Every structure is written in structure tokens, then in C-alpha cells.
């Protein structure tokens, strides 16, 4: 017998060990970019910086009842104004499919915080690329506190002002 030979019990245990979170795939689910005042918006001369209105939402949906496979979606709505004119409107839903190996009570926080955190750099890059390729300065999103966002949603749910997370 070789040194690295394993007993049947050990190899079965190792096969059952899956990572707590596994990305199955990620993709742009929906994307819209509009410049409602083109081309005149590019002629606007001002020293004022454009304003940005950014809203974020995170959703998680179980894909199959017989497995711990979920779709997590980050939704961003970004509207920019320059001298009281809409410069652009960007809406993106970026999603990932995740397989979880965590206790049931940990599923929601893992999905809404950790899985969202894993997707964020990709959607951030897409937003930056789209805005810069469209003739505007790139929108580079600052790091986002998904744990704080999740906590706010929990508090809002407890207050009855918002539905619970899917």
C-alpha cells in the first residue's frame, strides 16, 4: 500500500466536502443605457460636475426546491444630470447562480452579503466601461457595504415597511 492510500471512509468524507459557496455562473441579466439628450448634452459647457443618482437592490431566488442553488441579482439604476439635463440613464441587472453548502439559517445572509459581494466587482467594471465608452467620464462605484444594506433591509422588514427577502 502506498502512503497516500486512503481508507474508504476518508475518501467518502473528502468527496462530501464542498466549499460553502460556489459560483456556478454569472451573467448580465438585463442592461439598458440611454442618452436622452444626445448629441446636445455633449455640447454643454460647464465647470459643474454632473450629479449622479444611484440606487441599488439585491435579490435572491431559489432556483430548485430539491437543491441549494440560488440566483442572486444585483440591480443598479444610475441617472446622471448635467446642467438640469439628463446626461444618461443606466440600468443593469447582473446575476450569478450560486450553490451553497451552509446551514439553512445562514443561507439568506450568505446570499445577500457574500454572494452579492462576489458579483460586485464585475458589475462595477461593466458600469465603468459602459459610461466611458459612451463619451462620459467613467462611473467608478465605491466599495459597497452589503452587510449594512442587508441589516437595513432586515430592520425595515421588522418595522413592516418592506417585504422580506425572497
- Does residue 165 form part of some domain? no
CA distance 152 to 34: 31
Q: What are the pLDDT digits (tens) for 71-83?
A: 999 999 999 999 8
* pLDDT computed for residue 81 by the predictor: 94
Query: What residues make up the domain containing 150?
Result: 18-158
- Does residue 11 form part of some domain? no
In sequence order, what E strands does 35-163 have? 51-62, 69-82, 85-100
- Does residue 43 form part of some domain? yes
Q: What is the CATH number of the domain that holds 60?
A: 3.10.420.10
Give the CA radius of gyration of the chain. Answer: 21
- Does residue 166 form part of some domain? no
CB 66 within 8 A of CB 9: no
Please give the tally of structural domains in the chain.
1
**C-alpha separations of 130 from 14, 53, 66, 90 in Å:** 44, 16, 38, 9
- Does residue 76 form part of some domain? yes
* pLDDT computed for residue 161 by the predictor: 53
Q: What are the pLDDT digits (tens) for 89-132?
A: 999 999 999 999 999 999 999 999 999 999 999 999 999 999 99
* pLDDT computed for residue 1 by the predictor: 47
- Does residue 9 form part of some domain? no
Amino acid at each position: 500500500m502506498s502512503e497516500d492510500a486512503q481508507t474508504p471512509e476518508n475518501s467518502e468524507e473528502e468527496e462530501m466536502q464542498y466549499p460553502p459557496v460556489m459560483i456556478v455562473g454569472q451573467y448580465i441579466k438585463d442592461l439598458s443605457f440611454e442618452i436622452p439628450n444626445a448629441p446636445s448634452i455633449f455640447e454643454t459647457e460647464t465647470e459643474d460636475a454632473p450629479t449622479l443618482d444611484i440606487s441599488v437592490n439585491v435579490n435572491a431566488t431559489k432556483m430548485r426546491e430539491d437543491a441549494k442553488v440560488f440566483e442572486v441579482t444585483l440591480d443598479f439604476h444610475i441617472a446622471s444630470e448635467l446642467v438640469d439635463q439628463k446626461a444618461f440613464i443606466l440600468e443593469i441587472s447582473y446575476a450569478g447562480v450560486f450553490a451553497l453548502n451552509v446551514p439553512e439559517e445562514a443561507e439568506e445572509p450568505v446570499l445577500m452579503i457574500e454572494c452579492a459581494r462576489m458579483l460586485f466587482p464585475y458589475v462595477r467594471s461593466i458600469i465603468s466601461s459602459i459610461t466611458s465608452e459612451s463619451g462620459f467620464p467613467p462611473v467608478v462605484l465605491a466599495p459597497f457595504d452589503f452587510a449594512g444594506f442587508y441589516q437595513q433591509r432586515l430592520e425595515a422588514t421588522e418595522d413592516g415597511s418592506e417585504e422580506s427577502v425572497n
